[in-house]
Amino acid sequence: MSQKTILRALAGETLPVPPVWMMRQAGRYLPEYRATRAQAGDFLSLCYTPDLAAEVTLQPIRRFGFDAAILFADILLLPQALGPKLWFEAGEGPRMETTTTPAQVAALRPAGAIHDTLAPVYETLRILSRELPKETTLIGFAGAPWTVVTYMIAGRGKDDQAGAHALKAADRATFEALIDRITEATILYLSAQVEAGAEVIKLFDSWAGSLKGQDFADFAVKPVARIISALKDQHPGLPVIAFPREAGPGYIGFAAATGADCVAVDNSVTPEWAAEHVQPGGCVQGNLDPRHMVTGGEALVRETRRVVDAFRNGPHIFNLGHGITPDADPANVQLMLDTIRSA
């Protein structure tokens, strides 16, 4: 049995103190991150410079001693490696050359061609596997296919994912071909991450909640199940965390349907609901509201204890219900950790 607490929880062990990490734990709320980002010059240069990407991954581990480090990268590096142009607008986020026609899907590079572009990401993982403390788990990740294609179709993140839903309705064959291409490339990308040192994989489906009924089964469940099955065939024993954000009732049975070892839940569901309906299926990750990292105080302590208590009777990895925001106070992160470890 591994002594790494994250791996123990993912294997189904109920621990007296839950292991903890945070989504976006390397980020703009930390002054040391902002300094390294300035050194890199821009966001994509930071992602593609292994020494700097490793540095920002290590910063929250040095400061807070989280039980896991997650590779610093971006979910849109994978579609960029297939050909579409990617850039970041200051203050507005990512922009991507759109892929919406059969010809554009056909023009994407073969999935096996991604590794030249993504080689710096694998080098970052190799650095981290050498430099992380021995007790710290290294997590690799990718976006789930549905979320990735919403960006490819719209060219940017949109809360309603209208472009993807419209293409799905108007030209389902092209939409499904794009999902298939991203699924195939994601398997290769994540397998290479494991070979470079990732011990756990996480699949982020940030927009899963906009899929309903059969579409949820077809595009939030089936592609993720295909990815997980392929990864576990290639890397027996590899733990995978799936995050179908805002899935609501779709969280129930998601682990069994996809083969995930852990389901991360957002803060639109209560920890008590998730403990009753999701945790019986295996490890749960979550789900403190990220706003408490901004506001702090007694409410942060109370809600942190509530999450710990709700999930106490089964395998649990403490995390936020979504990523920590740039306006968060690092002191509140430390208060959260102190509360978890004394609960």
CA distance 119 to 95: 22
CA distance 209 to 268: 11
Angle, alpha carbons 294-298-302 (nearest 5°):
100
Choice among 151, 181, 189, 226 that is catalytic: 151
Reply yes or no on whether 74 is catalytic.
Answer: yes
Reply yes or no on whether 28 is catalytic.
Answer: yes
Q: At what angle do helices 330-342 and 50-64 cross, to 10 degrees?
A: 50
Choice among 34, 63, 74, 126 that is catalytic: 74
User: φ, ψ for residue 213 (rounded to 5)?
Assistant: 60, -130
Reply yes or no on whether 151 is catalytic.
Answer: yes
Choice among 8, 24, 181, 226 that is catalytic: 24
All residues at 6 or more sequence positions from 293 whose CB lies less than 8 Å from its CB, including other chains: 29, 300, 320, 324, 325, 328, 329, 332, 333, 336
Tell me the catalytic residues: 24, 28, 37, 74, 151
